[in-house]
Each structure stands twice: as structure tokens, then as C-alpha cells.
Structure 1
Amino acid sequence: MPSGAVRAPAPSRTHSLLRRALWWGVLTLTGGVERRGRLPRGGCVVVANHSSHADTAALLAGLDARHTPAIGAAADYWFASPWRSRICRRLAAGFPVRRKGGGLDDLLSMSDELRAGRAVVLFPEGTRGGGEVGSFHRGSLLLAERAGVPVVPVGIAGTDRLLPKHGRLRSALVRIRIGDPLPAGVTPGEARDAVAALHRRTNAESLRDSVVRRRVAAVAASRWGLLLGFGWAAAEALSWPLMPELLLAVACVAAPRAALRLSLAALAGSLAGSLLALQLAASGVQLPAPLTTERMRAEVRAQLVAEGAGAVRHQPWNGIPFKVYAAEAGRSDVPVGDWLAGAATARGTRTVAVGLGFAAFGMLMRRWRRLYPEYLVLLAGGFAAGLSVIVLSWR
């Protein structure tokens, strides 16, 4: 090993699997990650474009763990302090490469790792660039030549939108395209052109979407979406037979970023509607209550006698509509303050959890947005079946 070089951590397939699972999960939650192509068997030097710190996460999520990939990282940045060094080594299998003096020795120290079948990932631009792929340094090619392994070009797209240089994290789909190994004796310019072509091709691919999803997302993200969530939930607390969670299942999958606002609007609507239902029932007004049964009302009355306003905590789990609890609480003269406290906790837990859960599902399914209409059909069928089972079970 050349003097002064620092070898990467000893490869472990288990650690590589854990790292891949970690970064795949993170990128899935932030918009999705997909890979096309595969690395050849045996060791190889991977050269990729570099526009974001998220490039490392993308490659760790996309490359097979059997190659136990090691990532070359700038020594003056990622290894400038003990805590950065630990993070880089443990979470990214990083090894330091000096950008000024000694960098080639650092690279050549990985020759034995390559011959043993490991993949060494390098960003030959040397730093994060802009929209276009910059010129390549020669070190990665010399390393491949010394170890007798192929150079594999990889194009990465989407990371510049996910985590822009000097910007904040946002939701974006990340794509990785692995090209064919380059011929022996390739020049830095030829390697750069191969990576640039993959990057342009990958970046130009549009994510197929559904017109229905786009329209639903536009409404969900607007003030009309908040008004709809509030009004739907308020109506359900009074008489409307369809729970607000159905609306959240439709809207939060289409517009995950709006999920928390929509959930809170639905919660506010539920509480406002239940207060009105409470007062109407206490005054002797009986509103229509479709898809409810006398057995539901009898069960709620028994719970209110035994537990008071705290009985509403059962509502998220037993299938009895919220409007039944609100109406029976009014007829039982439950104090408004007690009711509001109990209902806020019970409904809040369920409504926000459901909204955020469907938002996470929408992010996981981002690459299949074109199937949103089919999702709506399945959702409608599943909801109808579930509602039928609940109503029949309470007869």
C-alpha cells in the first residue's frame, strides 16, 4: 500500500446489506429510487456524475451489496473531524481521497480490494458540479488499470432536485442507470462522455403520471382542499355516512405534502361538527344517521354511562361512527369541555395517523402514479366491503 494512504474499512456483506436497506428506505420515503442495469461480476471502478451529497446515498441504495461498494470521499471535507469521519465510514463505507497532494496514492491503495471483487465508487469530477457533467480526473482510470478491473459508467438523475447544492431536502425521484463496462485504455474524456450520456438519458425520462392524480393533487394542495376536508368531516360528525378517512385516502396519496394540513383540517371539522351534533341532540333534534344500527347506539349509551366522555376513546377501534358517539353524548348530557377533550384525543390520533400513513404510501408509490385511477377503484371496493362488514356485524 502506498505510503500515507488510508485503506477503506474491511468489506462486510452484512454491513453493505444494512447500508443498502437504510438508504433505500430513506430515498423511498423522499420520493423513490429506481435502478436500471447491473454491475458486472467481480471488482470494478464505478465512475458517476456528482451534483449532490445525495449521490452517495443513491449509489449505496442502488448497487448490489455483493460488491460491498466503497465510496471515495474528499478527505478535506468528510474526514476533517472525527465525527464526520465516523459517519462517512459507517454509513457510506467511505475512504478518504486527498484532493490536493497524495490523492492518487489514496486511490491506488484500493487495488487489492478491487482484485478481491469489491466495487470502488468514485466521482471523477472531484466536487459537486452544476447541471452538466464536468471534466474527469484521471485517477479512477489509473486505479482500474493498476487493479486490472473494468471501469463502469453510471448516470444519476434526480439528486440535484432532492438535495440541491447549498439547498434544502425536498421530495424527488432518484434514478440510477448503470452502463456497460468501458473498454481498456479509455481516456478521461471518453469516460466523462459515457457518464454524461447516461445522465442526460436518465434525466430526460419523464415520470408517467395520471391526469386524475394531478387534478386531485391540485385541489388537495389548495385552500379548497382544506375546506373540503373540514366540511366533509363536519358533515360526517352530524349525519354524512362516509368517514373523512376515505377523503384522506384519496387526497393524501395524490398529494403527500398536503397530508398534515388536510388531516388537521379534517380533525377540526370533526370536532366542530361533533359540538354541533352534541347541542342538537341535547335539544331533542334527531338527525338522520344512515348506515348505523340500534345496537351501535345501545353500545355507546352503555359506554357513556360507565366512562362518561372518555368512552369516545373506543370509537377509532370498534367501527361505530363518530356521529353516534356525538349524538348519544348530547342525549346523555355529557359536559361540552369533557367531550371536546376526549374527542380531540381520540379523533386526533386516528385522523392524523391515517393521513400521514396514506401520505407515506403515496410517496412509496410515486413511480406508479400512472396507476392512481386503479388505486381509486380498489380503494372504493375495499371501503365498500369494509363498511358492509362493519354495519352487518353491529346488527
Structure 2
Amino acid sequence: MTKNAATGSLSAVRSHTEGDTRPERRVAGGAEEAAGRRDRPAFRLLVAAWLRRRFWRTVLFLTGGLTVKGKLPKGGCVVVANHSSHADTAVLLAALSVARAPRVAAAADYWFLKRARRLVCSVLAAAFPVRRHGGGYSDLQDIAGPMLRAGHAVVVFPEGTRGEGRVGPFRRGAVDLAVSHGVPVVPVALSGTAELLPKRGRLRPHAVRVRIGQPLTDPDADTARTAVLELLAERRPRDSRVRHRIARLAVSWKGLGLVAAWSFTEALSWPLLPELALAVLCVAAPRAGLRLTLSAAVASVAGGLVALGLYSGASVDLPQPLTTTRMHTTAQKEIRLEGARAVRHQPASGIPYKVYAAEAGRAGVPAGEWVLRSTAARGQRIVGGGLVLTLIGVLTQRWRRFFPQYLVLVGVAFIALFALVISSWR
């Protein structure tokens, strides 16, 4: 969310020579400023911070979840974090304490150049402008200094740009700012944001973790970077090898073909519902859930159309295991009364789609009308179910290590469902 969030501007700190603005000459004054700081930001700013936190937490809940470990100290502080995604600012605003009303340094020449972008950045990202090409450290002192004295947490990304898979060198501007105002430097590690919103990529569901470290006792750029790296190295949530392998299948063309073939043959003879395949693949890899679901729905309707043609005016009798005579009789009566519209009963009746397709073919239902009606019926069931399963996959990413147990649960549930449906139609 904060493109090259304005710590890039902090490169100017390497050569700043502004006499009294240097932290070495302001440390003594920093104690006086610290003594005069207010404990909490203004009430209206706390309300705005609360609203931002609620908003971003809701977004992150829907895109995979957020886990936070640690908390900020009391009073103003400078937060230094690794930077790998535009989502970093949103994640920090969702994770950091409302009592510190976090503010974020952002590149003045990018985020504050145009009015619309400036408005969005200020309202949703709590950002303030810092120049990247000369004067950046002065901007930090002039703008962030009063914020620190008022008890805000000021977020700076010391790398100056989004990393390419690793944490780059930290520039010293953020640490100098903290030292000059007598406030602590707090290292924060962000995990999962590069997967959530990759550089030059699109948003895709992924769990995010935030680890807030202890304030640094003797801060400098190198120790701040080392502290962030140590936080990143903490053990990540365990995953399941089974889930990982199934997820690789789900995002591949083989997975798409498997779902399509499964759904197509289920409309002809295969006894296992397409939803069973989706319950495995969509939860394992929710980012592939939409295309898998649409593939299943289209292939199922295509299979139903083929079944309609095979049973029209021909003595075809494909194997249809796990169906009963009463299912066929009921579907036959409904089609005789309603024609192709009878397939609307299928999602709730428990009668397999292949039974309706076979009886519609024997009754001579027109192909065009059948495709139209069955698309609505199958779309309602398969697409709706697939999207729910995808959402489950998104919301349960932090518990992926239990995926094998989930597969057992799904298997037992489907067996029980089949037994209940078949027994009710005997």
C-alpha cells in the first residue's frame, strides 16, 4: 500500500549536516522533549485509528487472516519494519495498538502528487509526506517529531523500497529520528505480505503474521535490521505436506482438468459429486477456488447435455450406481409435468443430476431449453458451494497443519450424506 514507503527519502540522512538537527547534538534535548510528550494522541485521532484498524482487520480476515505477536511500548516510538509489499502498511495499521494511533511515512513525490491519491493515502493509510530526493530527514523531523511527542507510533520502512525476497540494508534516518526525540526504536517483522500482494502481482488470499519485538537498547541501523531478521526467523505456522502437494495440483492445469473430467463424468455415470473434489482442492488452494468452481459448473452442464443426447431416441443405459428406482420415477414425473424446468428441483432433492439428464433425454426435452435450465440449477449449487469452500480455505490458512484430519472429516461426512440420501429414496 505504501509504494517505496518514504524511507527511500531517508537516504538523505547519510549526508545531512544541519548542525543542531543531528541526533548526536539533540540527545540531551531529546530527554526534555520526551518529558513533555503527551501520553496519548488526540481523541479524534484515536477514533480514526480505531476505524482504520477495524477496516483493515476485516479486509485481512477475508483474505487469509492476521496473527499478531507482541505489543508496542507506551508513549511515542519509531517502528522499523521490513518492506516487501504494498500491503505492509495495511497490515501494520491492523496490527499496531490503537492507543499509539500509528502514522506512516510515505513518498511525497508518489502518494501526495495527485489529489485523489493523496486523499486515499491520508485517510486509509494514515500517511504523511516525506521527500525522497533531498530534505527527507528534515521532513521527518518537522512532521514526525510532533507526532512522537504526542504519543504516536511513527512507522518507517528503512529499506527505502520493497525487497526482492530478502531484507535489504537499513538506512539510519529512522533510528536518528528516534534518538533525537528520545523515543524507543521498535523492530517489527511482517510475514506473508509478499504472498498476499506480490510486487507487480495481484491480490491473492494468504495468511499474514506480525511479530512486534522489544525496543532496542542501543539502536543503530544494523542492530535494527538484525532484530527484524531475528523476528522473521521465528518458527512459522506448520503446514501439511499433503495439503502442499494437493495445492500444487489444484493450481495447475492438471487440477483444472481433473475437476472438469470429474464433473463431466458425474453427469453421465460417475457416482461421486463434483463438490467432493472442490471440498479438497478449493480448501487446499483457495486462490484457485474460483476457476476450479467455474470449471466444475461448466463441465457438469456439458456432461448433462451429452447425457441428454445419448438418451434421446436411443436405447442407452449407462451405469448409474448409488441411484434408486424411486429417484428415476420421481424425476420422470417432474419432467413430464414441467419439462426442462424440473431440473430446478435437483439441488435440493438429492436426486443426482445424471438421473434428470437421462429422463429428460428419454422425454425428448429440447437441448437449448435443457442447457438454459440446467445451467441455472447447477450454477446455483456448484458455484455457491465452491465459493463457500474457497472462503473456508481462506479463513483456515493458519490451521493448515490439520489438513489430513480435514480430509478424513470430509470423507466421513460425504459417506454419511450418501447413505442418508440413498436410504431416503429407497
TM-score over 0.5 (shorter chain): yes
Aligned: 1:199 with 2:229 = yes
1:385 aligned partner: 416
Aligned: 1:238 with 2:268 = yes
Distance 2:67 2:95 in 1: 7
Distance 1:197 1:88 in 2: 29
1:3 aligned partner: none
* 8 Å CA contact retained: 2:103, 2:155: yes
* 8 Å CA contact retained: 2:140, 2:177: no
Q: 1:364 to 1:153 in 2, by over 3 A?
A: same
2:83 aligned partner: 50
- Aligned partner letter, 2:213: G
Which structure 1 segments of 5+ residues have no match? 1-7
Identity %: 51
1:124 aligned partner: 158
Distance 2:98 2:389 in 1: 30
* 8 Å CA contact retained: 2:311, 2:361: yes
| Aligned match for 1:229, one of 242, 259, 267 | 259
1:81 aligned partner: 114
Aligned: 1:70 with 2:103 = yes
1:101 aligned partner: 135
SS in 1 for 2:223: helix
Aligned: 1:178 with 2:208 = no
CA deviation after TM superposition for structure 1 residue 84, in Å: 1.0
CA deviation after TM superposition for structure 1 residue 270, in Å: 1.8
2:202 aligned partner: 169
RMSD: 3.2
Q: 1:240 to 1:17 in 2, by over 3 A?
A: farther
Matched ranges for 1:33-48 at <5 A: 33-48=66-81
- Aligned partner letter, 1:254: A
1:271 aligned partner: 301
2:177 aligned partner: 142
2:12 aligned partner: none
SS in 2 for 1:238: coil
- Which deviates further from its counterpart, 350-359 or 86-95? 350-359
Q: Over residues 215-252 of structure 1, what are the superposed CA-to-partner deviations in whole Å (9 max), with x where a residue is unaligned?
A: 32333344443343233223322233321111111112
| Aligned match for 1:219, one of 249, 260, 269 | 249
Q: 1:246 to 1:188 in 2, by over 3 A?
A: same
Q: Over residues 11-61 of structure 1, what are the superposed CA-to-partner deviations in whole Å (9 max), with x where a residue is unaligned?
A: 544443442343334445555543322222443321223343222122122
Distance 1:76 1:93 in 2: 17
CA deviation after TM superposition for structure 1 residue 361, in Å: 2.5
Normalising to structure 1: TM-score of the pair?
0.82
CA deviation after TM superposition for structure 1 residue 69, in Å: 1.5
Distance 1:163 1:221 in 2: 17
CA deviation after TM superposition for structure 1 residue 349, in Å: 3.8
Distance 1:288 1:346 in 2: 23
* 8 Å CA contact retained: 2:103, 2:126: yes
Aligned length, in residue pairs = 382
Distance 2:47 2:421 in 1: 45
1:152 aligned partner: 186
Q: 1:244 to 1:113 in 2, by over 3 A?
A: same
- Aligned partner letter, 2:264: A
Q: 1:66 to 1:390 in 2, by over 3 A?
A: farther
Which structure 2 segments of 5+ residues have no match? 1-40
- Aligned partner letter, 1:175: R
Distance 2:263 2:304 in 1: 9
Distance 2:141 2:411 in 1: 57
SS in 2 for 1:96: strand
SS in 1 for 2:104: strand
Distance 1:250 1:10 in 2: 48
2:353 aligned partner: 322
- Which deviates further from its counterpart, 134-143 or 362-371? 134-143
CA deviation after TM superposition for structure 1 residue 126, in Å: 4.1
* 8 Å CA contact retained: 2:82, 2:228: no
2:344 aligned partner: 313
- Which deviates further from its counterpart, 200-209 or 271-280? 200-209
SS in 1 for 2:336: helix
Q: Over residues 145-181 of structure 1, what are the superposed CA-to-partner deviations in whole Å (9 max), with x where a residue is unaligned?
A: 53x543211122343454455x223545543221101
* 8 Å CA contact retained: 1:48, 1:153: yes
- Which deviates further from its counterpart, 305-314 or 20-29? 20-29
Q: 1:228 to 1:128 in 2, by over 3 A?
A: closer
SS in 2 for 1:120: strand
2:334 aligned partner: 303
- Aligned partner letter, 1:136: R
Distance 2:315 2:107 in 1: 74
